[in-house]
Chains A and B, each alone.
Chain A
């Protein structure tokens, strides 16, 4: 085989790989203007500094607490590694992965995920896992999360999963092919709109209120992991009134926290103390807090964290301040933009939110 033929073969293989890489980039959902939750996990890798507190969990963390407020008010640096319906094993492996990059002083886990003992839906798996960098933690998280019809290889090579999007490509797919806009504020997904709570739900009766073995297994591992790394683990239940948080569940978490000497805070019991007004502090009738609610919770919770775990005020650190000033600027510019949109259209058009009648 002469050199020319070998060269041609190598060139073909390179061309094929480049084409496949390009196609993969093109086909994977961009999560910039629609279902932006898919971008949250990935944004962590752009962080330049470490964090005092890392939040992990489902939408009840990434929509209910403002890290910028924690910084502005207490000088606490934090990041939310949250994802839509993040399952506890996903939280665990995300934490394991996070610890490869930094050692926070405190980890806060939102306990709503304890209710799920099995993988739930491919779409949510994707929102939590696609953004993770390829690592052993990611592979373990995938294996723990896959539904019956899912396949590990489709996570490692997302083109195999998203190839069928060829007929649904939009201008967004081309625009954000190589570069994406920042979506979150250290993992916090901002919403300034308001939809007041109309009624307080009553939980329907369940056949069993016992959290599953698998949930406890990963919670135990999380406790162990934090202990091994000298990290304080806090269990929280965010003040979201949907999905319903049963007393029986609360009791189990209290018992667990007592047994393992952990702090457990159920913010549903502290609505008045936090100052949440469900007429103005939620954007979807109590499911999630809006910016005003998230800031109130951050103020209240930050104070507890600061006092309990002796978190220092780091606002005096010039380098850190420089980084956070940028974040603060982005935070307020987005807030302003959303308020402008609300005023102009009556709803958040840029987030693909449907207009409320």
Chain B
């Protein structure tokens, strides 16, 4: 069931009504039921995957908790009998046993993700290697479809088990509540990747109908649909025209495609997250924000702190830090410090962790070399900008432009262009084509053609461009307004006639100018595919 479908709108409308009609103590049960119904629409067989992840995580989290309790009881009981060394030895032993359960859970669940998502990528690479060495035999591809949202719910659930292992919180004792945390339908397909201690605060609570959160939620849903249907799905036509024919659309067109894709992805992904957070808000549930106006970032590092925030923090907490402080990495640090001195020695372990994280981030987004190249390109830019820090410091000491509007604008534009060009890896069919198209922007000088009406040959007419422009101006305006706080809160203080006029206007805009229905290929949200 796509978010941008009549079925989904009917589904959430019924849910909203029933949710506030039934006794409050059953609300979370209804959400679990609705989430599984939603999941069933993707195909009944896929439900086994999410059930397996839930059950395995539930059993293992309880097992880890039991070991934790045993440890606590044992240490309390033998507080006076045991020496400090004995206690440490006991703790290490218990930690080892808990870690074994944790590793088993991670291997099982990431193993499933790896098999369903990366098997065919691995087979394709093995076949290519075999061909390169003159091998005759070719492995057959597996016929496995990717279960909906598996990357998101696997990461969310594994984050949970790691937190339980770390003793951040106790595991959920009710398997059905855990099942709801894993499968909560609005965030199932494209995130955000929630933390249990955050989401559970409101997910299992009893909620009374509150006009403000209901109204804010509906507004957020509408804004999401506006971004998705009016902007993203409209511009999609031009993007597809350009990227599907790289021989024809080079130079200036590659640049246009690159910029259009940047707008499309932003409107698509943030639109989807707006719908997710809006639905949750209507239900009285708080879901973590996933974006903080990323296109206003002044550096790539800042951009990644503001784009897909929950994925970034997941990698930071569960991959980057554990790798950075792991024993092997400590040994690397010791070795490089002794070999190359403090300055370089400190950097190498950090860079190894950074490269690992970006490699995984890349492959998480998709099982292709394009995404690996995309991840590593981000990594390279971040490392280069870190290495250039002394230069930046020198520059700012010489030129007092740090707070100048022009310089800040330059930084923002530079970041957007850098990110957009790296994202070209998402668009084109393979890495060499991406490099070729990127290069063509500097070698094929057909920029004049852009002013000769050829933009109208990309599948959009003048009216579409006008709507697109209005949509983008509105998007920019709202983003700018958000810097001063919640737009919805400020709107709520305006006179009612004005508010209702704004709501009606938005609704009609979506209804009339949305790219949906017969004749439009209203696409899935891009992040559904991850």
Chain A contacts to B: CB under 8 angstroms: 5, 8-9, 12, 15-16, 19-20, 23, 27, 122, 149-151, 153-154, 159-161, 163-164, 166-167
Contacts and interface: CB of A to CB of B under 8 A. Distances in A.
Interface in B500-530: 500, 503-504, 507-508, 511-520
A231 to B, nearest CB: 36
Given A5-B496, A20-B511, A151-B6, A160 B517 contact: yes
A159 B513 CA distance: 11
Interface string B478-516: 000000000000000000110010011001100111111
B517 A161 contact: yes
B6 A153 contact: yes
Main secondary structure of the interface of A (DSSP, over half): helix
Nearest to B10: A153
B460 to A, nearest CB: 11
Contact of A150 (B515, B518, B520): B518
B517 A167 contact: no
B132 interface: no
Given A12-B504, A154-B517, A166-B512, 18 more contacts: A5-B496, A8-B496, A8-B497, A15-B504, A19-B504, A20-B508, A23-B508, A23-B511, A23-B512, A27-B512, A149-B518, A150-B518, A151-B518, A160-B511, A161-B518, A163-B512, A166-B463, A167-B461
A163 B496 contact: no
A258 B134 CA distance: 71
Nearest to A1: B211
A7 to B, nearest CB: 10
B214 to A, nearest CB: 14
B497 A167 contact: no
29 contacts: A5-B496, A8-B500, A9-B500, A12-B500, A12-B504, A15-B504, A16-B504, A16-B508, A19-B504, A23-B511, A23-B512, A27-B512, A122-B518, A150-B518, A151-B517, A154-B518, A159-B511, A160-B516, A161-B517, A163-B511, A163-B512, A163-B513, A163-B514, A163-B517, A164-B515, A164-B519, A166-B512, A166-B513, A167-B463
A16 B508 CA distance: 9
Nearest to A27: B512
Contacts of A167: 461, 463-464
Nearest to B501: A12
A9 B504 CA distance: 12
B11 to A, nearest CB: 13
Main secondary structure of the interface of B (DSSP, over half): helix
* Number of chain B interface residues as a range: 20 to 34
A122 B518 CA distance: 9
Nearest to A168: B463
Contacts of A159: 511
Contacts of B520: 164
B517 A164 contact: yes
B51 to A, nearest CB: 30
Residue of B464, B503, B512, B514 with highest tally of chain A CB at under 10 A: B512
Interface string B453-464: 000000001011
B231 to A, nearest CB: 15
A151 B519 CA distance: 12
A167 B463 CA distance: 6
Nearest to A154: B517
Contacts of A19: 504, 508
A169 B496 CA distance: 33
Nearest to B462: A167
A131 to B, nearest CB: 18
A123 to B, nearest CB: 10
B143 to A, nearest CB: 23
Contacts of A23: 508, 511-512
Contacts of B461: 167
Interface string B45-80: 000000000000000000000000000000000000
A9 B496 CA distance: 9
Contacts of A160: 6, 511, 516-517
A151 B518 CA distance: 9
A5 B497 CA distance: 10
Nearest to B211: A1
Contacts of A9: 500
Interface in B2-26: 6
B285 to A, nearest CB: 26
A153 B511 CA distance: 14
A167 B519 CA distance: 14
A33 to B, nearest CB: 22
A167 B468 CA distance: 13
A118 to B, nearest CB: 17
A15 to B, nearest CB: 7
A163 B463 CA distance: 13
Nearest to A4: B496
Contacts of A153: 6
- Top 5 A-B pairs ranked by shortest CB distance? A167-B463, A12-B500, A163-B512, A153-B6, A16-B504
Contacts of A149: 518
A122 B500 CA distance: 36
B256 to A, nearest CB: 21
Contacts of A12: 500, 503-504
A147 to B, nearest CB: 8
B463 to A, nearest CB: 4
Contacts of B508: 16, 19-20, 23
B1 to A, nearest CB: 13
